[in-house]
Amino acid sequence: MLSQELDIAVEKASADQLQPKPDQNNLGFGQFFTDHMFAMQWNREKGWHEARIQSYRQLQLDPAAMVLHYGQAIFEGMKAYRSKDGRILLFRPLDNFSRMSQSALRMCMPRLPEEQVLKALRALLYLDQEWVPHAEGATLYIRPTMIATERMLGLRPAEEYLFYIISCPVGAYYSSGFNPTKIFIEDFYVRSVPGGVGDAKTAGNYAASLKAQMNAQKKGYNQVLWLDAIEHKYIEEVGTSNIFFVIDDVLVTPPLQGSILPGITRDSVIQLAKDCGMAVDERRVSIDEIITACENGTLTESFGTGTAAAIAPVGEFCYKDTSYTINNGSTGPIAQKLYDQLQAIQFGAQEDTHGWVVPVS
Ligand code: PMP
């Protein structure tokens, strides 16, 4: 079933179905959606079928659709970038689709025909090419999603699914320069547990994180840094990003042991750091080590990595009511260098020696 050639029907949006075009310089995040979407269904008998590109529209969902009750919902987040010479570029798209297949496996949902879905995405973006922003630093954020649609009450894996891709133009994350974040280290709520679903990009993980996120924001912090669920001691990840520290000139990040999302930006940053000769250590790192390294000055930088921001420098941590400032609250040279390199590759301004960039046309 996986190698099946998807027959993609294309039905262009009619004039009255076209979405109003937003102001390119005031896009924000996740508010405007393009004219078209890709969708296909799955059932046991036909596998993936009815693949089509159609106008962006509301879904028809039965109130008993299993996703609404038992939460089989997974998604991805990726971007299309416009290069200076006008090309549209995707960054490691097959890594997103293979991560989605891994999420599907964990949630007892069907695997994606990954190459075929990439073909569909390219066709979709070709049709919606005018929606890929030209404004400096702005991008098209792409949201592949899979949900259980079978109409049934009773706990078991659903036998019918919908996969779709929608996308939205988003503004430059740092329109007025880097703005290091303030991070609240959460020592009560946890994001995921060993043996749980922390390494799957499944909707429930995000719902479960909201309470701690709201508490942190009320206290004036941007994001939550999660600790492990057993000892509340080891660093996991921060908000919707992976986390890095520079300690004694070594780039340190928690290992992929099943409780954090295997970030594609994380993987890319590790590679770029190694390319410039930097030592990288994927290992467990405790909050006590971080506090000590903050106090004795060996921790010189910290930053989050993720598709939305690429790199988000951390300026301050709060742990048990004490604040720790990092690099005087400003962006460090390593975060800056990795950010510049990554963005240059993503926007097609620097040679891509890793085969990460996939042009749309
Ligand atoms: N962790 C979580 C929980 C996330 O939601 C994300 C965003 N997908 C990341 C890390 C970073 O992953 P990526 O670099 O692939 O965007």
Q: Which residues have C-beta atoms less than 6 Å from ligand 1?
A: 77, 237, 240-242, 261, 263-266, 305-307
Angle (CA) 48 51 53, round 5° = 155
Q: Please tell me the distance between residue 48's alpha carbon and the centre of ligand 1 in angstroms.
A: 27
pLDDT at position 4 is 63
Nearest CA to ligand 1 atom 4: 240
Q: Please tell me the distance between residue 37's alpha carbon and the centre of ligand 1 in angstroms.
A: 23
pLDDT at position 271 is 98
pLDDT at position 311 is 96
Any idea which residue has 């669920």 for tokens?
229
pLDDT at position 3 is 52
Q: Please tell me the distance between residue 238's alpha carbon and the centre of ligand 1 in angstroms.
A: 9
Nearest CA to ligand 1 atom 5: 240
By DSSP bridging, strand 250-253 and strand 280-282 are parallel
Give the SS3 label for residue 356. coil
Q: Which of 86, 146, 140 is nearest to 114 (CA)?
A: 146
**Single pTM value for the model:** 0.96
Q: Please tell me the distance between residue 339's alpha carbon and the centre of ligand 1 in angstroms.
A: 16
Q: Measured between alpha carbons, how far is 305 from 223 in angstroms, rounded to an integer?
A: 13
Q: Measured between alpha carbons, how far is 69 from 55 in angstroms, rounded to an integer?
A: 28
Count the alpha carbons within 13 Å of 187 in the hemisphere toward its beta carbon.
12
pLDDT at position 5 is 78
Give the SS3 label for residue 351. coil
Q: How many CB atoms lie within 10 A of CB 60?
A: 8
Q: How far is CA 268 from CA 89, 160, 212, 242, in A?
A: 16, 35, 28, 12
Q: Per DSSP, which regions of the chain are E strands?
A: 9-10, 36-43, 47-55, 73-75, 78-82, 88-91, 139-148, 160-170, 181-186, 223-227, 235-238, 242-247, 250-253, 280-282, 299-306, 310-319, 322-325, 357-359
Nearest CA to ligand 1 atom 3: 240
Q: Measured between alpha carbons, how far is 79 from 164 in angstroms, rounded to an integer?
A: 16
* Residue 143, phi then psi, degrees to nearest 5: -125, 90
Mean pLDDT by 10 residues, the chain (361 residues): 74 93 89 97 97 97 98 98 96 98 98 97 97 94 98 98 98 79 96 97 97 96 96 96 98 97 98 98 98 96 96 96 94 96 97 97 77
Q: How far is CA 143 from CA 43, 79, 169, in A?
A: 22, 9, 11
Q: Please tell me the distance between residue 212's alpha carbon and the centre of ligand 1 in angstroms.
A: 18
Nearest CA to ligand 1 atom 12: 263
Q: Measured between alpha carbons, how far is 257 from 127 in angstroms, rounded to an integer?
A: 40
pLDDT at position 19 is 87
pLDDT at position 173 is 80
Angle (CA) 201 360 52, round 5° = 65
For a ligand 1 pocket test, name from 142, 242, 356 the mutation site with the most ligand atoms within 8 angstroms of its C-beta: 242
How many residues would you count in the chain? 361
